[in-house]
Amino acid sequence: MPIPEIAIKTIGDLSREVRALAPIEKWLFRGQTDACWDLAPSVHRGYTAQQERYLTNEFRVRARSRHFSCPSSDDYPGWLALMQHYGLPTRLLDWTYSPLTAAFFSVHPDYVPPRQSIDRDACIWALDGRKLNESQGFEPLIFPLDASSYEPLVVPAFKNRDELDTVGVAMAIEHDPRIQLQQGAFTIHSSRTPINLIKGADEWLRRLIVRSEDIQGFFEELTALGIRKFTLFPDLSALTSELKSMHRPGDGCH
């Protein structure tokens, strides 16, 4: 069956639809600036399995001279989370327990890729993580990324091991203030099938669509409510980005 899809125009609409998800504590959210995109991690967008292993192992070799608190050599989940945090293509896909955070990423202009159509709709995905885990043969619970049950999903990113051809949902390990503020979680993709195309996805996925003509107003509502870049990313680069978006050349008197 097709995944249920609902158009929303305002934060009030988002709140109403989130409250309709029951029980709400089971649901995770992800914002994407294009509603046509599948739910696939970055390393599955054109990279081969061999390239993935090259990326992860090269990163491990070279990271220690650049980062003061690297994971231990055999802490594969820790390495994968660190790589994801710093933008390396991985088999992890970011989710959040906060629908407002997901909404922020779906409509903020900084996350629109170059040359992306201005007529595209944005999307906030809702995922019942426990149901997804159960459908993939795991317990109907969400464990931390370093749980032993997820090891077969993680290790093939580093070593030439057979894939389980499954997806798991894991809690993020809060090694960084950003993860805590963004209320993060991950799906771990041992399968190359996007999770919205997995059979039975309509049981644990929902799509909330922000139409192109409503994106600017939706973004302005989030800003008015204090959902801004520097509140989610507590660092100087985010503060700089936020100030530049608020004060553009030519604004005001000189």
Which of 26, 13, 11, 61 lies closest to 171, judged by CA?
A: 26
Alpha-helix residue ranges (DSSP H) falling in the chain: 11-19, 49-63, 76-85, 99-107, 129-135, 151-154, 177-182, 215-224, 229-232, 236-246
Q: What is the mean pLDDT of residues 188-192?
A: 98
Reduced to 3 states, what is the DSSP secondary structure of residue 212? helix
16: alpha, beta or left, given left = phi > 0 and alpha = psi -120 to 50?
alpha
Model confidence over 200-242: pLDDT tens digits? Answer: 999 999 999 999 999 999 999 998 998 877 677 766 665 676 6
C-alpha separations of 65 from 84, 85, 90, 158, 235 in Å: 18, 17, 21, 20, 22
The token duo for 198 is 């997995």
pLDDT band at 90 (very low <50, low <70, confident <90, very high): very high
Residue given tokens 């619970």 in the structure block:
141
Model confidence over 123-139: pLDDT tens digits? Answer: 999 999 999 999 999 99
Q: Dihedral angle at the C-alpha atoms of 220, 221, 223, 227, nearest 10 degrees?
A: -140
pTM of full prediction above 0.85? yes
